[in-house]
């Protein structure tokens, strides 16, 4: 077997002590393994050639996971040959095709999906040099290898990519880095970029509903775009707040919040029916009332 190694680093407040939710990490790593295997199978037409193994390597202040991609010796020769053919021009390795270790402005799956950021590809122009120019629905263009242009539309690529980046849509993980050498990031995906990597990004919801509700604040962020963790007592959701009046009041310190306070608000629930199943997102459209959490008081005995 021939192996190629790289590191995945999950970083942020939730992992400052080298700790991370086991279920969250396991789901993300399983999805990364499936992503790598699927991309290789699509690119080469030979499923089952690649296996991804985890090598435990923890560093205080972040959660580092070493990964080894293993190829059978004859398969490695096939990868090299594929990379040298016109259809593989612009990629010298599987990691480059994924976008984990691109150099000199090259574009892999990660860079193309980030660039799209939920936009629809309105037009494709295949070039003679093995590349394809993608034109988004707003007219912006990006040129990528032909393989990348096909991969970003494939559900077996986009679905595991979404699951792999799921920790960025939860509390406490602010970025995921890819390192060929410890401490030298070849690429990174940040929390603010996470929405671009959802499989349904850019697609219109299959259904939308609005309803009034009261939620208790479980975790809050005073940065626009970040999702608050809210609970109605039976369900916990992650929701961004779109209310401009609310944010203006926060920015001039007219109101102050703390965990366990309550918000009476209008909630929008968007749902998408994707190849991976039903996807649901919540948004607070308007905050009608802020109720401070009841404070315990002492009693004279």
**Residues 275, 124: Cα–Cα separation, whole Å:** 23
pTM of the model: 0.65
Nearest to 31 by CA among 52, 17, 15: 52
- C-alpha distances (whole Å) from 233 to each of 230, 236, 238, 262, 290 are 9, 8, 14, 11, 17
Kindly state the average pLDDT of the residues 215-241.
Answer: 88
Give the position of tokens 């009041």: 249
**Domains of the chain and CATH, by start:** 2-197 (no CATH), 207-291 (2.40.50.140)
**For residue range 183-201, what is the model confidence (pLDDT) as tens digits?**
777 888 998 898 888 877 6
Please report the pLDDT score of residue 233 as a whole number: 92
* pLDDT for res 199: 78
pLDDT digits (tens, 9 = 90+) for 160-171: 999 899 888 877
H helices within 165-276, ranges in order?
A: 244-251
pLDDT recorded at residue 76: 38
Write the CA distances from 227 to 25, 175, 210, integer angstroms.
20, 15, 18
Give burial (CB, 10 Å; 0-12/13-18/19+) of 203.
Answer: middle
Name the token pair of 118: 């939920």
pLDDT of the residue at 142:
93
Q: Is the pLDDT confidence value at 54 over 50?
A: yes
pLDDT of residue 20: 64
Burial classification of residue 13, based on how many CB atoms lie within 10 Å of its CB (0-12 exposed, 13-18 middle, 19 or more buried): exposed
- Output the pLDDT for position 83: 34
**pLDDT exceeds 80 at position 177:** yes
Q: Phi and psi of 8, rounded to 5°?
A: -115, 125
Q: pLDDT tens, 248-266?
A: 988 888 888 888 899 999 9
Mean pLDDT, all residues of the chain = 78
In angstroms, rounded to a whole number, what is the distance separating the alpha carbons of residues 110 and 98?
6
Lowest mean pLDDT among 50-64, 152-166, 283-297: 50-64
The pLDDT assigned to 26 comes to 81
- Token pair listed for 263: 């918000």
Q: How large is the average pLDDT for residues 224-233?
A: 87
> pLDDT digit string (tens) for 3-32?
456 778 888 877 765 566 767 778 888 888
For the segment 85-96, what is each residue's pLDDT rounded down to a tens digit? Answer: 333 332 346 778
Would the pLDDT of 47 be above 90? no
Over residues 235-260, the mean pLDDT reads 88
Segment holding 231, helix H or strand E: strand 228-231
């Amino acid at each position: 077997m021939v192996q190629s190694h790289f590191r995945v680093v999950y970083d942020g407040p939730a992992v400052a002590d080298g700790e991370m939710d086991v279920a969250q990490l396991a789901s993300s790593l399983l999805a990364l393994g499936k992503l790598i295997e699927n991309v290789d199978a699509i690119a080469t037409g030979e499923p089952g050639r690649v296996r991804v193994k985890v090598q435990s390597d923890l560093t205080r202040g972040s959660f580092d996971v070493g990964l080894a991609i293993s190829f059978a010796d004859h398969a490695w020769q096939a990868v090299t040959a594929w990379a040298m053919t016109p259809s593989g021009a612009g990629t010298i390795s599987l990691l480059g095709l994924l976008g984990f270790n691109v150099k000199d402005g090259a574009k892999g799956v990660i860079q193309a999906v980030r660039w799209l950021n939920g936009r629809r590809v309105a037009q494709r122009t295949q070039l003679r040099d093995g590349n394809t120019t993608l034109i988004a629905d707003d007219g912006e263009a990006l040129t990528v290898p032909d393989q990348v242009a096909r991969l970003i539309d494939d559900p077996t690529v986009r679905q595991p990519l979404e699951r792999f980046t799921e920790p960025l849509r939860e509390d406490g993980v602010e970025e995921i880095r890819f390192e060929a050498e410890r401490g030298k990031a070849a690429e990174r995906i940040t929390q603010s970029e996470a929405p671009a990597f959802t499989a349904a990004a850019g697609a219109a919801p299959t259904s939308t509903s609005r309803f009034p509700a009261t939620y208790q604040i479980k975790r809050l962020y005073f940065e626009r775009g970040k999702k608050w963790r809210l609970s109605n007592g039976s369900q916990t959701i992650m929701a961004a707040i779109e209310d401009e009046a609310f944010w203006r009041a926060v920015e001039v310190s007219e109101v102050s919040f703390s965990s366990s306070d309550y918000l009476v608000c209008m909630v929008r629930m968007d749902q998408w029916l994707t190849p991976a199943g039903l996807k649901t997102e919540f948004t607070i459209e308007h905050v009608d009332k802020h109720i401070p959490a009841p404070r315990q008081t002492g009693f004279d005995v």
